[in-house]
Structure 1
């Protein structure tokens, strides 16, 4: 009887030792390395592409996050300025713009293949328009083609690679902001046929209707905008502001509130929500100079500060955030 118990005890000990040896073998280290690589590879990045440096149209693209400096990545297939760059379905989409010719062409960047490729073109040549992603759909509104300023909108029907018209805005807008926020799409500011505006309208995708909302405190065109936390932020731009001023819109109260101004006056720049902060990137100063400066807004402190600059001075470029998987 004693021998039987001893045999069972010895077998259990050997089994436990083998299990521990298995757990502590190299696969754990390999998995650890794979996890680290996965975390690094799946980081989110700000992407900046194209634009105008005062002399040339650009197609170069760069990406940045808080753990790296600006890194080069594959260029657009075409130089573009004042176009729209949005993230949709884990891809970047560069839409329309101008490079000596007005464009309706669209191209997408796939993080898996590391390549840009053309997709279906929009129905209209558009420049100074804006784009947003709402309800898993890319929308584009406004802009101009040199002869006409548009109030028309269109959306990308990915299943058949086609663009279709959506309900037009109530007024023509170029240099506007199109912002998707909490289930609605907001068309903000811009310049109509003759003047800058501070008006805003909201699009309901279910009713397919635009509804007027509260006006901004300042008229603005060619300004920066972003959906950040529970509010919409706008900064800078041409109009009655000083190109530094910023304000936020609260959908719950339908009111605009002024916040701390940027450190540098800017138009034709991008405002990006990233890493729990807002980034104001590049643009044109009131002195008529392209800038490479970047500043970040800390909403808790209501304060702006400078951070790592762009690779070169640029305005009218595209910017968007995407996560690599």
Structure 2
């Protein structure tokens, strides 16, 4: 029997296997094919590993060039709560607001926007005709407009106003004198405005009641405003010290104050579309509401994302920031939290320029602020800055 069998050591199992001679050749051929297959699979695995490492290194390099977080910029000169802000050309403006003593801040300040998104020196320019806070600001066709807000005696005696002022923007960013050009159909404190084409939309606010109405006026070539006219379709929810933003032919309203001591702020989001002639389509409630109800917050769009930052729940000031993707048809995806603010902030102003957003002033730590922070989105919509800018 011994001449029909042989002993073979299999190092895979550290054991001796007894094989008949008739099976040994088959076994050898099988093992040769197995080794060839193993070698082939090993080459594939190594190649895949190199690809994964290269991809990971590339992604890591990109992330090292970009860091989550807000960048603090030069503060403006006069702290102010509940101002408005806007950009025109390469200049950033802060308009209106109220100081720590309850006085209206009438001088307007402006700063040049630098190539990296930072700001140059802030300067004061011409003062508003009428002091106002919780107002709005729009810049277009070489003019800066201040709209509505609260005015009159400071404190509890202030009242909503309808006046609209205009100042010409000079080539160096400074302003000519302000002039009252016309009046909204409705006094509005805590209104929001969006600009679509040549048309300004003034939305919601307070005139002794919380408002659902929107009105619009066209900016003419000489900077004059057409007569304001009310939209046929009112928002579903009355909105006061709420948020608004527009993107791609759709306008969004977010949050705001409700008359309910137990739950004073909304989490609802509604939208409408700009139609021919400047009219708005009927409003609809979006499928996805905010994760945190909030008022005296600000909304803005960057790329294909809609954001809302900070604000107040009615019981506490917030640092949280939410973001939702704007889908191809204009509807919103689900909200998620993204890069929070460095400190809680409400009743501030917001403006965007190219890929950057700027948050200015507001209330924090029981006092009006003059600080300015900025951020830009990464490919996933999270907010931050180039690492070199943050480290400056």
Q: TM-score, normalised by structure 2?
A: 0.62
1:209-224 alignment, distance < 5 Å: 209-213=227-231, 214-224=233-243
Distance 2:355 2:216 in 1: 31
Of 280, 297, 310, which aligns to 1:269?
Answer: 297
Specify the alignment match of 2:345 in structure 1. Answer: 314
Distance 1:324 1:116 in 2: 21
Post-superposition Cα deviations, 1:164-212, rounded to whole Å, max 9, x if no partner, equal 22221001100001111132100110000x2111011111223611111
1:1-325 alignment, distance < 5 Å: 68-99=68-99, 100=101, 101-112=103-114, 114-145=120-151, 146=154, 147-159=158-170, 161-192=176-207, 194-206=208-220, 208-213=226-231, 214-239=233-258, 243-252=266-275, 254-259=281-286, 260-286=288-314, 288-300=315-327, 302-323=333-354
Distance 1:239 1:215 in 2: 17
| 8 Å contact kept, 1:91–1:322 | no
Q: In the TM superposition, what is the alpha-carbon distance from 1:321 to its structure 2 partner?
A: 1.5
Q: In the TM superposition, what is the alpha-carbon distance from 1:134 to its structure 2 partner?
A: 3.1
Specify the alignment match of 1:46 in structure 2. Answer: none
Distance 2:189 2:355 in 1: 32
| 8 Å contact kept, 1:281–1:295 | yes
Question: Secondary structure at the residue paired with 2:144?
Answer: strand
| 8 Å contact kept, 2:83–2:98 | yes
| 8 Å contact kept, 1:134–1:184 | no
Post-superposition Cα deviations, 1:254-307, rounded to whole Å, max 9, x if no partner, equal 221111211110000010111321110000013x10000000011225211110
| 8 Å contact kept, 1:94–1:106 | yes
| 8 Å contact kept, 2:160–2:189 | yes
Q: How many equivalent pairs are there? A: 259
Q: Which runs of 5+ in 1 are unaligned?
A: 1-65
Q: In the TM superposition, what is the alpha-carbon distance from 1:75 to its structure 2 partner?
A: 0.5
Q: TM-score, normalised by structure 1?
A: 0.75
Bigger strand share: 1
Post-superposition Cα deviations, 1:238-265, rounded to whole Å, max 9, x if no partner, equal 1379510011121226221111211110
| 8 Å contact kept, 2:265–2:313 | no
| 8 Å contact kept, 2:241–2:295 | yes
Question: Secondary structure at the residue paired with 2:92?
Answer: strand
Q: In the TM superposition, what is the alpha-carbon distance from 1:104 to its structure 2 partner?
A: 1.3
Name the Cα RMSD after superposition: 2.1
Distance 1:242 1:76 in 2: 30
Q: In the TM superposition, what is the alpha-carbon distance from 1:323 to its structure 2 partner?
A: 4.1
Distance 1:67 1:136, change over 3 A: farther
Q: In the TM superposition, what is the alpha-carbon distance from 1:67 to its structure 2 partner?
A: 5.3
Q: Which runs of 5+ in 2 are unaligned?
A: 1-65, 357-392
Distance 2:317 2:122 in 1: 27
| 8 Å contact kept, 1:157–1:164 | no
Specify the alignment match of 2:22 in structure 1. Answer: none
